Structure 1
Amino acid sequence: MPENKQIILTYEGVKKIEEELEYLKTVKRKEVSQKIKTAISFGDLSENSEYDEAKNEQAFVEGRIATLENMLKNAKIIDEDEINTDVVSIGSTVKVKDLKYGDELEFTIVGSAEADPAKMKISNEAPIGKGLLGKKVGDVVEIQVPDGIETFEILEIKRH
Protein backbone atom coordinates (compact mmCIF):
# COMPACT_ATOMS: atom_id res chain seq x y z
CA MET A 1 0.00 0.00 0.00
CA PRO A 2 1.45 3.38 -0.95
CA GLU A 3 2.49 5.39 2.09
CA ASN A 4 0.24 8.36 1.39
CA LYS A 5 -2.82 6.80 -0.28
CA GLN A 6 -5.92 8.27 1.30
CA ILE A 7 -8.05 5.64 3.01
CA ILE A 8 -11.78 6.29 3.22
CA LEU A 9 -13.31 5.07 6.48
CA THR A 10 -16.53 5.43 8.42
CA TYR A 11 -16.40 6.01 12.17
CA GLU A 12 -17.24 2.32 12.59
CA GLY A 13 -14.24 1.41 10.40
CA VAL A 14 -11.90 3.66 12.39
CA LYS A 15 -13.10 2.07 15.63
CA LYS A 16 -12.52 -1.43 14.25
CA ILE A 17 -8.96 -0.54 13.15
CA GLU A 18 -8.19 1.09 16.49
CA GLU A 19 -9.43 -2.01 18.34
CA GLU A 20 -7.27 -4.33 16.22
CA LEU A 21 -4.27 -2.03 16.68
CA GLU A 22 -4.76 -1.97 20.45
CA TYR A 23 -5.03 -5.78 20.55
CA LEU A 24 -1.88 -6.24 18.47
CA LYS A 25 0.12 -3.78 20.57
CA THR A 26 -1.02 -4.92 24.02
CA VAL A 27 -1.85 -8.62 23.70
CA LYS A 28 -0.34 -10.11 20.56
CA ARG A 29 3.09 -8.46 20.93
CA LYS A 30 3.40 -9.95 24.44
CA GLU A 31 2.32 -13.39 23.24
CA VAL A 32 4.88 -13.37 20.43
CA SER A 33 7.60 -12.05 22.73
CA GLN A 34 6.90 -14.94 25.12
CA LYS A 35 7.06 -17.45 22.26
CA ILE A 36 10.47 -16.06 21.26
CA LYS A 37 11.77 -16.31 24.85
CA THR A 38 10.52 -19.88 25.13
CA ALA A 39 12.09 -20.83 21.79
CA ILE A 40 15.42 -19.25 22.81
CA SER A 41 15.39 -21.40 25.94
CA PHE A 42 15.47 -24.50 23.71
CA GLY A 43 19.06 -23.68 22.78
CA ASP A 44 20.72 -23.71 19.35
CA LEU A 45 18.89 -21.13 17.23
CA SER A 46 20.32 -22.35 13.91
CA GLU A 47 18.03 -25.39 13.87
CA ASN A 48 15.23 -24.09 16.05
CA SER A 49 11.95 -24.09 14.08
CA GLU A 50 9.99 -22.69 17.04
CA TYR A 51 12.29 -19.67 17.07
CA ASP A 52 12.00 -19.16 13.30
CA GLU A 53 8.22 -19.44 13.48
CA ALA A 54 8.00 -16.97 16.38
CA LYS A 55 10.24 -14.47 14.58
CA ASN A 56 8.09 -14.77 11.44
CA GLU A 57 4.98 -14.18 13.51
CA GLN A 58 6.65 -11.17 15.11
CA ALA A 59 7.46 -9.74 11.68
CA PHE A 60 3.85 -10.24 10.59
CA VAL A 61 2.47 -8.55 13.73
CA GLU A 62 4.83 -5.58 13.40
CA GLY A 63 3.97 -5.26 9.70
CA ARG A 64 0.26 -5.29 10.46
CA ILE A 65 0.73 -2.66 13.18
CA ALA A 66 2.58 -0.42 10.72
CA THR A 67 -0.15 -0.93 8.09
CA LEU A 68 -2.95 -0.08 10.53
CA GLU A 69 -1.10 3.00 11.84
CA ASN A 70 -0.58 4.16 8.25
CA MET A 71 -4.25 3.63 7.46
CA LEU A 72 -5.30 5.76 10.43
CA LYS A 73 -2.74 8.44 9.57
CA ASN A 74 -4.09 8.72 6.02
CA ALA A 75 -7.77 8.23 6.86
CA LYS A 76 -10.50 10.42 5.46
CA ILE A 77 -13.41 9.86 7.82
CA ILE A 78 -16.93 9.92 6.42
CA ASP A 79 -19.30 11.62 8.85
CA GLU A 80 -22.63 9.76 8.70
CA ASP A 81 -24.55 12.95 9.50
CA GLU A 82 -23.17 14.54 6.33
CA ILE A 83 -24.15 11.69 4.01
CA ASN A 84 -26.54 12.96 1.37
CA THR A 85 -29.43 10.55 0.91
CA ASP A 86 -30.41 12.06 -2.45
CA VAL A 87 -27.61 10.20 -4.24
CA VAL A 88 -25.55 7.11 -3.51
CA SER A 89 -22.23 8.02 -1.87
CA ILE A 90 -19.64 6.38 0.35
CA GLY A 91 -21.33 5.58 3.64
CA SER A 92 -24.77 5.17 2.03
CA THR A 93 -26.86 2.08 2.49
CA VAL A 94 -28.63 1.35 -0.79
CA LYS A 95 -31.64 -0.89 -1.26
CA VAL A 96 -31.80 -2.22 -4.81
CA LYS A 97 -33.91 -4.64 -6.76
CA ASP A 98 -32.04 -7.13 -8.92
CA LEU A 99 -34.10 -6.90 -12.11
CA LYS A 100 -32.90 -10.29 -13.38
CA TYR A 101 -33.97 -12.32 -10.31
CA GLY A 102 -36.40 -9.95 -8.58
CA ASP A 103 -34.43 -10.08 -5.31
CA GLU A 104 -34.12 -7.01 -3.10
CA LEU A 105 -30.62 -6.47 -1.76
CA GLU A 106 -29.13 -3.91 0.58
CA PHE A 107 -25.53 -2.77 0.14
CA THR A 108 -23.53 -0.36 2.25
CA ILE A 109 -20.93 1.49 0.17
CA VAL A 110 -17.64 1.77 2.08
CA GLY A 111 -13.99 2.49 1.36
CA SER A 112 -11.89 -0.47 0.25
CA ALA A 113 -10.34 -0.89 3.72
CA GLU A 114 -13.76 -1.65 5.22
CA ALA A 115 -15.17 -3.84 2.45
CA ASP A 116 -16.75 -7.06 3.69
CA PRO A 117 -18.91 -8.66 0.97
CA ALA A 118 -20.24 -11.28 3.40
CA LYS A 119 -21.81 -8.42 5.38
CA MET A 120 -22.94 -6.63 2.20
CA LYS A 121 -20.34 -3.88 2.74
CA ILE A 122 -19.00 -3.26 -0.73
CA SER A 123 -16.07 -1.13 -1.75
CA ASN A 124 -16.53 2.09 -3.67
CA GLU A 125 -13.81 0.69 -5.96
CA ALA A 126 -15.60 -2.62 -6.69
CA PRO A 127 -17.76 -2.80 -9.85
CA ILE A 128 -21.13 -2.68 -8.04
CA GLY A 129 -20.03 0.02 -5.59
CA LYS A 130 -18.54 2.13 -8.36
CA GLY A 131 -21.63 1.59 -10.53
CA LEU A 132 -24.05 2.73 -7.81
CA LEU A 133 -22.14 5.86 -6.78
CA GLY A 134 -23.89 9.08 -7.75
CA LYS A 135 -27.15 7.37 -8.70
CA LYS A 136 -30.62 8.32 -7.35
CA VAL A 137 -33.75 6.49 -6.21
CA GLY A 138 -35.61 5.22 -9.27
CA ASP A 139 -32.47 4.95 -11.42
CA VAL A 140 -31.91 1.67 -13.25
CA VAL A 141 -28.23 0.82 -13.38
CA GLU A 142 -26.43 -1.73 -15.54
CA ILE A 143 -23.13 -2.78 -14.01
CA GLN A 144 -20.44 -4.91 -15.62
CA VAL A 145 -19.39 -7.61 -13.16
CA PRO A 146 -17.14 -10.65 -13.71
CA ASP A 147 -20.18 -12.87 -14.44
CA GLY A 148 -21.71 -10.47 -17.00
CA ILE A 149 -24.03 -7.51 -16.51
CA GLU A 150 -26.14 -6.96 -13.38
CA THR A 151 -29.15 -4.65 -13.62
CA PHE A 152 -30.42 -2.96 -10.48
CA GLU A 153 -33.19 -0.50 -9.74
CA ILE A 154 -32.40 1.77 -6.80
CA LEU A 155 -35.29 1.62 -4.34
CA GLU A 156 -33.94 3.50 -1.33
CA ILE A 157 -30.87 5.40 -0.14
CA LYS A 158 -30.28 5.91 3.57
CA ARG A 159 -27.55 6.50 6.09
CA HIS A 160 -25.94 3.37 7.53
Structure 2
Amino acid sequence: MIKRFPISQQGLDKLELELKNLRNVERIEIIKAIAEARAHGDLSENAEYHAAREKQSFIEAKISELEDKIGRAEVIDVSKIQGNEIKYGATVKLLDEETEDEVKYTIVSEYEADVSAGLISISSPLAKALLGKVMGESLEFRTPKGTKYYEVLSVSYV
Protein backbone atom coordinates (compact mmCIF):
# COMPACT_ATOMS: atom_id res chain seq x y z
CA MET A 1 0.00 0.00 0.00
CA ILE A 2 1.26 3.45 -0.92
CA LYS A 3 1.81 5.71 2.08
CA ARG A 4 0.38 9.06 1.05
CA PHE A 5 1.13 12.36 2.77
CA PRO A 6 -0.67 15.71 2.83
CA ILE A 7 0.77 18.69 1.00
CA SER A 8 -0.49 22.04 -0.23
CA GLN A 9 -0.74 22.83 -3.93
CA GLN A 10 2.11 25.33 -3.51
CA GLY A 11 4.27 22.65 -1.89
CA LEU A 12 3.54 20.21 -4.71
CA ASP A 13 4.29 22.90 -7.30
CA LYS A 14 7.65 23.51 -5.61
CA LEU A 15 8.52 19.77 -5.74
CA GLU A 16 7.48 19.58 -9.41
CA LEU A 17 9.58 22.66 -10.26
CA GLU A 18 12.60 21.12 -8.54
CA LEU A 19 12.06 17.87 -10.47
CA LYS A 20 11.74 19.74 -13.77
CA ASN A 21 14.99 21.61 -13.07
CA LEU A 22 16.84 18.39 -12.22
CA ARG A 23 15.58 16.65 -15.37
CA ASN A 24 15.91 19.52 -17.85
CA VAL A 25 18.88 21.48 -16.55
CA GLU A 26 21.04 19.62 -14.03
CA ARG A 27 20.89 16.26 -15.80
CA ILE A 28 21.88 17.81 -19.15
CA GLU A 29 24.72 19.81 -17.59
CA ILE A 30 26.18 16.74 -15.87
CA ILE A 31 26.00 14.68 -19.08
CA LYS A 32 28.03 17.42 -20.80
CA ALA A 33 30.51 17.50 -17.90
CA ILE A 34 30.98 13.71 -18.11
CA ALA A 35 31.55 13.88 -21.87
CA GLU A 36 34.08 16.68 -21.40
CA ALA A 37 35.89 14.76 -18.66
CA ARG A 38 36.02 11.63 -20.85
CA ALA A 39 37.72 13.66 -23.55
CA HIS A 40 40.65 14.25 -21.20
CA GLY A 41 41.77 10.66 -21.56
CA ASP A 42 42.53 7.99 -18.92
CA LEU A 43 39.40 7.65 -16.82
CA SER A 44 41.00 5.67 -13.99
CA GLU A 45 42.93 8.74 -12.77
CA ASN A 46 40.55 11.42 -13.99
CA ALA A 47 39.21 13.24 -10.92
CA GLU A 48 36.86 15.41 -12.99
CA TYR A 49 35.24 12.31 -14.48
CA HIS A 50 34.78 10.63 -11.09
CA ALA A 51 33.37 13.81 -9.55
CA ALA A 52 30.95 14.23 -12.46
CA ARG A 53 29.81 10.61 -12.20
CA GLU A 54 29.28 11.01 -8.46
CA LYS A 55 27.22 14.15 -9.06
CA GLN A 56 25.24 12.28 -11.72
CA SER A 57 24.42 9.55 -9.20
CA PHE A 58 23.28 12.19 -6.73
CA ILE A 59 21.06 13.88 -9.34
CA GLU A 60 19.49 10.58 -10.45
CA ALA A 61 18.80 9.61 -6.83
CA LYS A 62 17.21 13.00 -6.18
CA ILE A 63 15.05 12.63 -9.31
CA SER A 64 13.86 9.21 -8.12
CA GLU A 65 13.14 10.59 -4.66
CA LEU A 66 11.12 13.51 -6.03
CA GLU A 67 9.17 11.26 -8.41
CA ASP A 68 8.27 9.07 -5.44
CA LYS A 69 7.22 12.05 -3.30
CA ILE A 70 5.10 13.55 -6.08
CA GLY A 71 3.47 10.19 -6.71
CA ARG A 72 2.49 9.84 -3.03
CA ALA A 73 1.42 13.45 -2.47
CA GLU A 74 -2.18 14.14 -1.56
CA VAL A 75 -3.01 17.79 -2.21
CA ILE A 76 -5.11 19.30 0.56
CA ASP A 77 -7.00 22.55 -0.05
CA VAL A 78 -6.80 24.14 3.38
CA SER A 79 -9.44 26.74 2.48
CA LYS A 80 -12.03 23.95 2.39
CA ILE A 81 -11.21 22.66 5.87
CA GLN A 82 -13.54 23.72 8.64
CA GLY A 83 -13.82 23.09 12.31
CA ASN A 84 -11.89 23.86 15.43
CA GLU A 85 -9.88 20.64 15.69
CA ILE A 86 -6.16 20.88 14.87
CA LYS A 87 -5.16 18.91 11.78
CA TYR A 88 -3.02 19.39 8.67
CA GLY A 89 -3.14 22.98 7.46
CA ALA A 90 -4.20 24.49 10.79
CA THR A 91 -2.69 27.74 11.91
CA VAL A 92 -2.55 27.66 15.67
CA LYS A 93 -1.77 30.33 18.21
CA LEU A 94 -0.34 28.93 21.42
CA LEU A 95 0.35 30.42 24.81
CA ASP A 96 3.47 29.18 26.58
CA GLU A 97 1.99 28.68 30.06
CA GLU A 98 5.37 29.19 31.72
CA THR A 99 6.59 32.37 30.00
CA GLU A 100 3.21 33.75 28.85
CA ASP A 101 4.73 34.16 25.36
CA GLU A 102 2.45 33.61 22.38
CA VAL A 103 3.65 31.67 19.34
CA LYS A 104 1.95 30.95 16.03
CA TYR A 105 2.54 27.90 13.84
CA THR A 106 1.02 26.45 10.71
CA ILE A 107 1.10 22.68 10.30
CA VAL A 108 2.43 21.75 6.85
CA SER A 109 4.05 18.79 5.10
CA GLU A 110 7.62 17.89 5.95
CA TYR A 111 8.65 19.24 2.54
CA GLU A 112 7.24 22.69 3.28
CA ALA A 113 8.40 23.05 6.89
CA ASP A 114 10.39 26.13 7.89
CA VAL A 115 10.35 26.69 11.64
CA SER A 116 11.82 30.19 11.31
CA ALA A 117 8.74 31.11 9.21
CA GLY A 118 6.35 29.42 11.66
CA LEU A 119 5.77 26.38 9.42
CA ILE A 120 6.10 23.10 11.31
CA SER A 121 6.08 19.62 9.81
CA ILE A 122 3.05 17.45 10.47
CA SER A 123 5.51 14.74 11.50
CA SER A 124 7.29 16.95 14.07
CA PRO A 125 6.84 16.15 17.76
CA LEU A 126 5.07 19.47 18.40
CA ALA A 127 2.60 18.98 15.53
CA LYS A 128 1.91 15.43 16.70
CA ALA A 129 1.16 16.78 20.19
CA LEU A 130 -1.18 19.41 18.68
CA LEU A 131 -3.16 17.13 16.35
CA GLY A 132 -6.72 16.60 17.56
CA LYS A 133 -6.58 19.43 20.12
CA VAL A 134 -9.11 22.29 20.08
CA MET A 135 -9.11 25.91 21.24
CA GLY A 136 -8.85 26.17 25.02
CA GLU A 137 -7.12 22.82 25.50
CA SER A 138 -3.73 22.53 27.13
CA LEU A 139 -0.97 20.22 26.04
CA GLU A 140 2.32 18.96 27.33
CA PHE A 141 5.25 18.84 24.94
CA ARG A 142 8.65 17.33 25.73
CA THR A 143 11.71 19.10 24.33
CA PRO A 144 15.43 18.41 24.80
CA LYS A 145 15.43 21.34 27.26
CA GLY A 146 12.53 19.97 29.29
CA THR A 147 8.76 19.82 29.22
CA LYS A 148 6.78 22.78 27.82
CA TYR A 149 3.13 23.46 28.54
CA TYR A 150 0.99 25.24 25.98
CA GLU A 151 -2.61 26.37 25.79
CA VAL A 152 -4.27 26.50 22.38
CA LEU A 153 -5.54 30.07 21.96
CA SER A 154 -6.90 29.78 18.43
CA VAL A 155 -7.22 27.40 15.48
CA SER A 156 -7.86 28.63 11.95
CA TYR A 157 -7.64 27.43 8.39
CA VAL A 158 -6.71 30.20 5.98
Q: Same fold (TM over 0.5)?
A: yes
Which of 112, 115, 133 aligns to 1:114? It is 112
Question: What is aligned with 1:11?
Answer: 9
Q: Does 1:91 align with 2:106?
A: no
Say whether the 8 Å CA contact 1:85–1:92 is kept in structure 2.
no
Q: Which amino acid aligns with 1:68?
A: L
Q: How many matched pairs?
A: 158
RMSD of the TM alignment (CA)?
A: 1.6
Q: Does 1:40 align with 2:35?
A: no
Task: Return the alpha-carbon distance in structure 1 between the equivalents of residues 50 and 113 of structure 2.
Answer: 33
Q: Does 1:148 align with 2:146?
A: yes
Q: Which amino acid aligns with 1:111?
A: S
Task: Return the alpha-carbon distance in structure 2 between the equivalents of residues 59 and 111 of structure 1.
Answer: 27
Say whether the 8 Å CA contact 1:83–1:89 is kept in structure 2.
no
Q: Which amino acid aligns with 1:94?
A: V
Question: What is aligned with 1:61?
Answer: 59
Q: Which amino acid aligns with 2:122?
A: N
Which of 65, 68, 74 aligns to 1:76? It is 74
Secondary structure of the residue that 2:111 maps to in structure 1?
A: helix
Q: Does 1:105 align with 2:124?
A: no
Unaligned residue ranges in structure 1 (runs of 5+): none
1:93 deviation in Å? 1.1
Say whether the 8 Å CA contact 1:8–1:113 is kept in structure 2.
no
1:55 deviation in Å? 0.6
Per the normalisation by structure 2, the TM-score is 0.91
1:14 deviation in Å? 0.5
Unaligned residue ranges in structure 2 (runs of 5+): none
Q: Which amino acid aligns with 2:71?
A: K
Per the normalisation by structure 1, the TM-score is 0.90
